Chain A
Amino acid sequence: MKRLAALASVALATLASIALATAAAGDPQSDYMLQCQGCHRADGSGFGESVPDLRDSVGRFLEVPGGRAFLVQVPGSAQSPLSDARLAGVLNWMIERFGPARVAAGFEPYDAEEVATLRTPLLDVAAVRARLLAGIAESP
């Protein structure tokens, strides 16, 4: 099984090398690659219980009270070296890229001013996330 996983990783890496993404520095995809992808991975699948899976998930935080601020306040966002404008851009890109589609289709994009207002690191990320996930679980 481990061998298969290793081969799959190599295959994916090779494919990624072949189909190089050309991204301008400062554009959202480039910022995702440089600031987020190492842990959240190219497909947003994350890493077990350590790194959240973004797929059909990240946008759901916009559907519960406090969730919009949470996405700006998680450590990877609030403490990133990105400017407020670029953080807004990469958050918008992630919601559009990873969905869910119903949220991505109609959400109000972040902008630099809103990010600047919300950008305060959380003292207890896990507790806030658990509360928001409970709200998401109860929402339709």
Chain B
Amino acid sequence: MIRIGCTLIALFFTAGLASAGEPDPATPEGDPTRAEYWRHCSIDGFPAAACGGTASSCPPGTLMSPISWIGTCRNPVDGKRYILSYNDCCGKGPCGQAFAHRNEGDKPVYYAQKSNDVGWCMGPADAVYNSTVSIVIGVEAEDEE
């Protein structure tokens, strides 16, 4: 299922788009409940942390999709780029909070595996989209090629 419908819902629910800005100065790495949080740099949807979950866990009553799309974001504290898995949380209606429309590394939908417009609520998590986690799964070092 394509995320376009979700995006429209998100525009309805939220007052404005998040800018790809700097982290919340209140904490070193920023606030994961906000769209601007560094780990959310490739999210097109609602951060799970703003919906009752955390940056790495889904809100109660939702199920995490087993498959995901993978991207990288720069941690503003240490300057390193981290590899992140964006798994969707599924099973309840769209959260509607802190809509993040940040698309670093996003590709057109004909590169489905690298497009954040694609919904990942499939298989055991085959249900309506609720939100998205931003799980750090690795550290990307300098490109040598």
Contact for A33 among B64, B83, B91, B111, CB less than 8 A: B83
- Do the beta carbons of A13 and B67 come within 8 Å of each other? no
Judge whether B85 is part of the interface by a CB distance below 8 angstroms.
Answer: yes
Binary flags per residue of B122-145, CB closer than 8 Å to A gives 1, else 0:
111000000001011111111111
Pick the most buried of A10, A42, A76: most chain B CB atoms within 10 A of its CB.
A10
Contact for B138 among A6, A23, A41, CB less than 8 A: A23
Contact for A13 among B122, B135, B140, CB less than 8 A: B135
Judge whether A125 is part of the interface by a CB distance below 8 angstroms.
Answer: no
- Do the beta carbons of A21 and B138 come within 8 Å of each other? yes
CB-CB nearest in chain B for A11: B57
| Interface bracket on A | 35 or more
Judge whether A86 is part of the interface by a CB distance below 8 angstroms.
Answer: yes
Chief secondary structure at chain A's binding surface: helix
Judge whether A16 is part of the interface by a CB distance below 8 angstroms.
Answer: yes
Contact for B67 among A21, A23, A51, CB less than 8 A: A51
Q: How far is the CB of B82 from chain A (nearest CB, A)?
A: 8
Q: A13-B85, A13-B135 are in contact. Are A26 and B145 (CB under 8 A)?
A: yes
Q: A2-B124, A24-B144, A83-B145 are in contact. Are A16 and B137 (CB under 8 A)?
A: yes
Q: A6-B63, A37-B70 are in contact. Are A17 and B144 (CB under 8 A)?
A: no
Q: How far is the CB of A99 from chain B (nearest CB, A)?
A: 22
Judge whether B66 is part of the interface by a CB distance below 8 angstroms.
Answer: yes
Binary flags per residue of A77-109, CB closer than 8 Å to B gives 1, else 0:
001010101100000000000000000000000
Q: A2-B63, A33-B83, A83-B145 are in contact. Are A39 and B113 (CB under 8 A)?
A: yes
Chain B residues contacting A23 (CB-CB under 8 Å) are 83, 138-141
Q: How far is the CA of A21 from the CA of B62 in the complex (A)?
A: 27
Q: Which residues of B contact A (CB under 8 A)?
A: 56-58, 62-64, 66-72, 83, 85, 87, 91, 111, 113-114, 122-124, 133, 135-145
| A-B CB proximity, top 9 nearest | A24-B141, A25-B143, A21-B138, A9-B64, A22-B139, A38-B70, A26-B145, A13-B135, A10-B57
25 contacts between A and B (CB under 8 A): A2-B91, A6-B58, A6-B63, A9-B87, A13-B133, A14-B56, A16-B135, A20-B138, A22-B139, A23-B141, A24-B140, A24-B141, A24-B142, A25-B142, A25-B144, A26-B143, A33-B137, A34-B71, A34-B83, A37-B70, A38-B67, A47-B66, A47-B123, A48-B123, A81-B114
Q: Which residues of A contact B (CB under 8 A)?
A: 2, 5-6, 9-10, 13-14, 16-17, 20-26, 30, 33-35, 37-39, 41-42, 47-48, 50-51, 76, 79, 81, 83, 85-86
